[in-house]
Amino acid sequence: MTNLLSKKALKRAFALLIIGSLALVVSNAASTQANAAMAFKYSIALIGDMPYDAKGVTQVPAVINDINSNSLINLVLFDGDTMSGKGDKCTDAAYPALKTGFFDKFTKPLFYSVGDNEWVDCDRAVKGAFDPMTRLALVRSNFFQNADGSYISLGSKNARIAVSHDAVYPEMQMFSFKGITYILPHVPGSANNSAVTAPAFKTYNDTAVDGNDAEYKARDAANVAWINKGFAKAVTDGSVGVIVVVQANMDWEGYARDAAVPNNENTAAFANVKQALLTNTLRFKKPVLLQNGDEHWYQVDMPMNETAGKLVEKDKGSLVENFTRVQTFGSGFNHWVELIIDPRADNLWTFKVHIIKDNLDVHTVPAP
């Protein structure tokens, strides 16, 4: 009996040894593949705030064609605002038309971070005075999740990328691709749909208070949780960098776009998301890139400063050197930005501006 048990134990130990060896081989193979993916540079296209206005209708197809024809581009990151906040109506028909007339035209996989013009601002009279929550439902059903619960892919349908979605907010996405973790929370402009009364945000509105505090607070908490989860994934996956995509220019300077003085309502609307970005960026220590639209002009800066782990104004405290922001071109300036990601370079991020020749503005040179 003793010999029989010994033989059984020996066989079991041998089997466990084989299984463990196979697991190690698989783990090492996966690690080797991940390291190989990180070893080579690749490019993605950064766009936002299009297509809208008469100028956009005629100019945006050239932007799409230029991106599609560029063999270096692996992905497209679209930072929101698919229609104008000043006139494009938020009709039911507008959303499927954007899907077929814009998103489906891209031959690269496209990931979309929701903006304010397609739902938050739809209560404006000039946009049809719709209930923003019904418009958000249309954004989700047309661009993110089908009625059966399956998720919608934008751009190329051949992308083999495992994308995670939040259970309540299907527009919140995250995935890892070639050594980078991508996080798309839902942070729109127009004070993040918080209830505001400031004139700077009511130029096109008729109501005394713009926004919905209950919606804002729930989504704001979900955004913070999603950002935290995304950075945790980056650590688990061994990512060399993180890219976060939002629509809003989150008021890093502490000033509203059209106001001459600091606007506390606007700043407060993004405070929790910005603090989550700061905390995770400090912990992660590797390069973090924030992409946003909203303003329509291109710029790259390093706007994050902190004191004792808390955000402070740009010209105070200590600069967070591993945090970079890029703001994309938008309506009126229909061009695009190529982000070159090279894990072997001293700088993980390199930006290349693509000016579309046919979209150049005509300038008048002042007389001498």
Domain limits of the chain?
41-359
CA-wise closest residue to 125 among 100, 90, 73, 176? 90
CA-wise closest residue to 78 among 51, 106, 104, 112? 112
Residue 62: strand, helix, or coil: helix
- What architecture is domain 41-359? 4-Layer Sandwich (3.60)
Q: Which residues in 206-245 are b (16+ Cβ under 10 Å) and which e?
A: eeeebbbeebbeebbebbbebbeebbebbeeeebbbbbbb
Quote the CA–CA distance of 163 and 152 in Å, as a whole number: 11
Per-residue pLDDT of the chain (368 residues; tens, 9 = 90+): 444 445 555 455 444 444 444 444 434 444 444 555 566 899 999 999 999 888 888 999 999 999 999 999 999 999 999 999 888 999 999 999 999 999 999 999 999 999 999 999 999 888 999 999 999 999 999 999 999 999 999 998 777 899 999 999 999 999 999 999 999 999 999 889 998 776 555 555 555 457 899 999 999 999 999 999 999 999 999 999 999 999 999 988 765 444 444 456 677 889 999 999 999 999 999 999 999 999 999 999 999 999 999 998 777 899 999 999 999 999 989 999 999 999 999 999 999 999 999 999 999 999 99
Quote the CA–CA distance of 340 and 288 in Å, as a whole number: 14
What predicted TM-score, i.e. pTM, was given to this entire model?
0.88
